[in-house]
Structure formats: C-alpha cells, structure tokens
Amino acid sequence: MPELPEVETTRRGIAPALEGRTIVALVVRDRRLRWPVPVGLEKRLGGQPVSQLTRRAKYLLLETPAGSAMIHLGMSGSMRIVPENEAPGKHDHFDIVTNAAEIIRFNDPRRFGSLLWAGSNPLEHPLLAELGPEPLGADFTGDYLWQSGRGRKASIKQHIMNSKIVAGVGNIYANEALFRAGIHPMRAAGRIALPRMQLLAEEIRAVLSDAIKQGGTTLRDYRGGDGKPGYFKQQLLVYDRSNQRCTKCSKPVKRIVQGQRATYYCGNCQH
Ligand SMILES: [Zn+2]
C-alpha cells in the first residue's frame, strides 16, 4: 500500500509534467473508484493551467485557478507519465492530458483510490479539514506529540497512527519509528515522558525522510514504464520480521495485532 513516502515520491515524479502545463482534457474511463469520480470534473479541469501539485497527508492536490482536484492512491494506485498516443491498459482508470502531448495516467487494480473535486479551499474539504499536522512539517514537534498524548490511554502506536494527531503515519512507519525510539507499541500515549516523545517525533521524521530519499534514488522512471507501482523496498528494521533476530539485540522480533493492524517489536529493546 502506498504510504506517505510513496505519495511524496509520486508527487515529485509527476509534478514536472503538470506544473506550468495546461490540462487539455481529463479522460475518465471508470468512475467507480473508492468514491465515484464526480460527473462534470472533466469540464472543471479542461483548459485549466496547473499552478502546483502539492500534497496533504496522502492526498495529492492538483491546483488550478478554478480550484483543486484531489487524488488518493488508495491501496494499489500509481501514476505515471506516458506519451499522448499510448493506449490505456485494463486498470488505467483516468488520464490527465496536458498540452505537452503527455498523459499523466492513473492505474489502480483494486480501485480504492480516488479523484475528487475540492474547490478553492482544498484544505477545508471534509477529508482534509480534521487532519493533524504533517509529520515532516514544522508544527509536528516532540512537544506537540507529548501535549497531544496527555491523559490518553490509547496505545502510542494507535496514537501516532491517528490522522487527527498526525497525518499520514502509516503502519510500516509507526512500527519502525517506535523501534528506533525504543518505545513499546502498547504503552499508553499518556504515559510517555517528554524526552522520549521528542525522540519519537524525531524518529518519525527520520524514517519518513529516509524512505523519501531512498525513493528518490531507487525511483523507477515516472516517464513511460510498465505501469507497476513505484513503491520501493525500504530498509526495514522490525516491520514484517516476526521471529527474526532483532537487529539491535538478536532476540526474536514479536508480532501482535493492534487495532486490526500488525505490530512488530522487540520486547527487549522497546519499553
Ligand atoms: Zn532488541
């Protein structure tokens, strides 16, 4: 599943083909994504210049003078740049055709992705309005994380995966950051002292930044390609390593389930 680093890497990969270009047409082949692609979106976007492609949490915001469209990659979505005359494949649900004779093509076998209209204040869209700060933004600090956890009995792992607390920390990165910070995933958010929360906030930023950096270097070409998602192999220390040796102490990594998501941790290194 694309997490925040993949979405950011996708943004960086396709932005040069969109920013400063004009949308000649939006071609929707299948409206049945997670939410139906709004009827009339073709008209809204057609002829619009793209001022910027930005990101909020795991949403890409295609900003135009008429307003912004919002793209989510869902569970299996990916985007790539193809020549105007390249025929679409089975799961290529929509195309953004630009005046550079290129198409930014959205592929999503499982159709949990989305393309929505967000108007001129996209950050006030119901899907975005309640989100907490960006984990890589200046507002996400150890002090903030500690304040947000005060009095909370929820586990720290569920706390950092709550998008109202911080936007876009997915399961893989929550596991990795807690391991790197030496914090037990089951510990109540309200029972972690400020210095450890500061360390955790730093590690969340570090795991996400590392993944984005790695995505930048191992990135497949967003131009052309075979339509396979641009997800990259990350250097994971604890995620999906149950019963393998902990990279710090060699004891076996444990696996539990929290909030229906798999948690991996070292009982010896994480307290
Ligand atoms: Zn260990």
E strands along the chain, which residues? Answer: 23-28, 52-56, 59-64, 67-72, 78-83, 92-98, 102-107, 114-119, 254-258, 261-265
Q: Would you name the residues annotated as active-site residues?
A: 2-3, 58, 261
Separation of CA 253 and ligand 1 centre (Å): 7
Q: What is the DSSP code (8-state) at residue 220? A: P
Q: Is residue 202 classed as helix, strand or coil in its secondary structure?
A: helix
Separation of CA 259 and ligand 1 centre (Å): 23
Convert the pLDDT of each residue in 171-183 to its tens digit: 999 999 999 999 9
Separation of CA 172 and ligand 1 centre (Å): 17
Separation of CA 134 and ligand 1 centre (Å): 29
Convert the pLDDT of each residue in 55-92 to its tens digit: 999 999 999 999 999 999 999 899 999 999 999 999 99
CA pair distance 35, 110, nearest whole angstrom: 13
pLDDT tier at 216 (50, 70, 90 boundaries)? low
Q: What are phi and psi of 68, to 5 degrees?
A: -115, 140
pLDDT of residue 115: 98
Token pair in block for residue 113? 């992705």
